[in-house]
Chains A and B, each alone.
Chain A
Amino acid sequence: MWFNKKNILITVFIFGIVIWSSIGTGVRPIPLDNFVAFSERFFPPNWDRTNVALSASLITLQVAFLGTILALLVAIPISFLAANNTSPNGYVYHTVRSMLSFLRSVPDIVLGLFFVVLIGLGPYAAVLAIFIHNVGVLGKLIAELIESADKGPQEAVQSMGLCKSMVALYGVLPQIIPNVLSHYFYRFEVAIRTSLILGFIGAGGIGQLLFNDFQTFRYDNVSLYVLFIMGLVVFVDMLGSYVRNRVI
C-alpha cells in the first residue's frame, strides 16, 4: 500500500529538496570536540547573577502580561464588530476587519524598533509593540470564535426580546470564554518570546541581558539567563492550564 511508484517518486523529490536546501544553507556535521569546547564555556552558570536575572525576568513577564492583557481588553469589543453575525452592518464589518489585518501585518519586531526610536529605549516600547500587534491577532481570533459560536443560544436570547448587543453579551460571550482564554494564554507565551527578542534592540528585560552578555562572551551568564527563560515559559504554560481548568 505504501510502496507504489507515486509515493517513491514523491519521497525522492522531497529528499532532493532537502539536499538542495542543505547545500544552500551550509548544513554540515559539527566536529564533536569543537562542540564540547564551546559548551564548556557555558558551565557552570554564573549563579552570582541570580538577582539581576530574576529582576530582569520579572520585567519581561510584566512586558508580556501588560501588552497582551491590554490587547485582550481592547480586542474583545472590537472583535464583535469584526464578526459577521454580531457586526451592526457590512460597512463596519469590512472596515474593522481590514484595520485588524493591518495591525497584524506589521511584525511586532518592526513595531518595537519604531517605538524604541519614538519613545526611547526601555520596556515601555516593548509593551506598546506587543499591545498593538496582539490587538490585531486576538481581534481576528476572537471574531472567528464569535462567528462559529452555537446559533441556538443566540436565537433564544433574541426571541426573549433582547437587542443585538445583549445577544452578543448573553448569547455569545459565555460560550466562547474558555476558547478566548486558550488563545490569550498562547499569545501571552508568544509575547514572552517576543519581549526577549525586543530586548536585543534595547527594550529591557532578560532578553537585553542575554544579548549584551552574549556579545561580551560571558557565556556563563548567558546559560543562567537561559535557565530563567525556560522557567518563565514553563510558568506561563502552567498558569494557562490552571486557569483554563478552573474556567471550562
Chain B
Amino acid sequence: MVLTLQDVSMIYKSKGNKGKKEQALDSINLSILQGEFVGVLGRSGAGKSTFIRCINQLVRPSHGKVIWLDKEMTTMNKDQLCITRREIGMIFQQFNLVPRLSAHKNCVMGGFGYRPRWKNMLGLITAEERERAMRALERVGIDHMAHKRVDQLSGGQQQRVAIARMIMQKPKLILGDEPVSSLDPTTSKEVMQLIRDVHDTENMTTLINLHNVELALEYCDRIIGLAEGRLVFDGSPQDVDDHALKTIYG
C-alpha cells in the first residue's frame, strides 16, 4: 500500500450562495498499491477534481486522513507539505504551463522543488539541469520545440511539455486531472500512451481522472467510480459492465 485514504470528506463553504455548504467528497476509503494505474470515472460535479486535489493537499480535506508512504499528509504543515509534494507529480486538463516562458524553461522548473530557495529566487540554472530538461523533452518527443514559447504550442504539445516537467520532478506518484479532455481523440491516445510508458518504465503509481470510459478501460489497471462525492465503484476494467456504468453515471 503506497497511498491510503481514510474517511476523506470535503465540504466547500462557498463565499457567495449564502454560505451554502457543498459536500464534494463523502467518506472516501481507498487503498492504492505500488505500481497501480487507476482511472477515476464520474459525472461532471461528482467530485473527481476535488478527489485528486485532496491527495496532494492542493485542497485540504475537511475530514479524514491521506497517508502517502506512511506519512500522514493531512496533518502536515506548509514546509513538510512542500517537501512531500515533490514526490507527487500532477498534470492538468489546461496543462497549466507558465505562459510566456519557453518549453525548456518550463521543464527545468520541474526540478526546482529540490533546490535551495536562493537559487530559485535568482533563477540560476546549472548545465546539468539544462541537459536533464533537454533529455526529458526528448523523452516526450518535443525537443525540437524546446526554445519555443509554450503559448505558441498546440494542446498536445503543451501537455507533452507538462509531462516532461513532471519527469524532471522525479515523482513516485502521478496525479492527473482530466489530462486529455482538451485534446482530440488521436492526440488523447498518444498522450495516454505516453503517460502509461512513463508510469511503466519509472515504476510509478498513477491516479487519473478521465471522462472517456473507453480510454479508461484501455489504459488503466483499476477503475474507481465517484457519484455525488461517494465511492460507488472499485474494480478491474473487466468488471465495468452496463450495471457498473449505470451506478457511476446514473
Binding site for B on A (CB under 8 A): 150, 152-153, 155-166, 169-171, 174-175, 177-178
Main DSSP-derived SS at the B contact region? mixed
**Cα of A150 to Cα of B97 in the assembled complex, Å:** 11
Among B86, B92, B96, max chain A CB count under 10 A is at B96
**B-side interface size class:** 20 to 34
Contacts A153-B96, A166-B112 given; does A161 touch B83 at CB 8 Å? yes
Q: Which residues of B contact A175 (CB under 8 A)?
A: 98-100
Q: Which residues of A contact B82 (CB under 8 A)?
A: 161-163
**Cα of A98 to Cα of B215 in the assembled complex, Å:** 52
Q: Which residues of B contact A174 (CB under 8 A)?
A: 98-101
Q: Is the CB of B92 within 8 A of A160?
A: no
Q: Is the CB of A163 within 8 A of B79?
A: yes
Asked if B117 is an interface residue, CB under 8 A from chain A, the answer is yes
**Cα of A170 to Cα of B85 in the assembled complex, Å:** 17
Asked if B169 is an interface residue, CB under 8 A from chain A, the answer is yes
**Cα of A160 to Cα of B86 in the assembled complex, Å:** 5
**Cα of A171 to Cα of B99 in the assembled complex, Å:** 9
**Cα of A163 to Cα of B113 in the assembled complex, Å:** 8
CB neighbors of A among B54-88 (8 A):
56, 58, 78-79, 82-86, 88
Contacts A153-B99, A175-B98, A175-B100 given; does A159 touch B89 at CB 8 Å? yes
With both chains docked as a complex, state the minimum distance between the C-beta of B63 and any C-beta of chain A, in angstroms.
22
Q: Is the CB of A156 within 8 A of B90?
A: yes
Partner of B90, one of A159, A169, A177: A159
Q: Is the CB of A163 within 8 A of B94?
A: no
Contacts A155-B92, A170-B109 given; does A160 touch B101 at CB 8 Å? no
Q: Is the CB of A152 within 8 A of B92?
A: yes
**Cα of A155 to Cα of B52 in the assembled complex, Å:** 13
Q: Is the CB of B113 within 8 A of A162?
A: yes
Q: Is the CB of B109 within 8 A of A157?
A: yes
Asked if B110 is an interface residue, CB under 8 A from chain A, the answer is yes
Contacts A169-B121, A174-B101 given; does A160 touch B109 at CB 8 Å? yes
Contacts A160-B112, A161-B82 given; does A155 touch B58 at CB 8 Å? yes
Residue of B whose beta carbon sits closest to that of A158: B58
Contacts A169-B121, A174-B101 given; does A161 touch B85 at CB 8 Å? yes
Q: Which residues of B contact A163 (CB under 8 A)?
A: 78-79, 82, 117
Q: Which residues of B contact A166 (CB under 8 A)?
A: 112, 117, 120
Q: Which residues of B contact A169 (CB under 8 A)?
A: 120-121
With both chains docked as a complex, state the minimum distance between the C-beta of B154 and any C-beta of chain A, in angstroms.
17
Contacts A155-B92, A158-B58, A166-B120 given; does A177 touch B85 at CB 8 Å? no
Q: Is the CB of B86 within 8 A of A161?
A: yes
Q: Is the CB of B85 within 8 A of A158?
A: yes
Q: Which residues of A contact B90 (CB under 8 A)?
A: 155-156, 159
Q: Which residues of B contact A158 (CB under 8 A)?
A: 58, 85
With both chains docked as a complex, state the minimum distance between the C-beta of A244 and any C-beta of chain B, in angstroms.
13
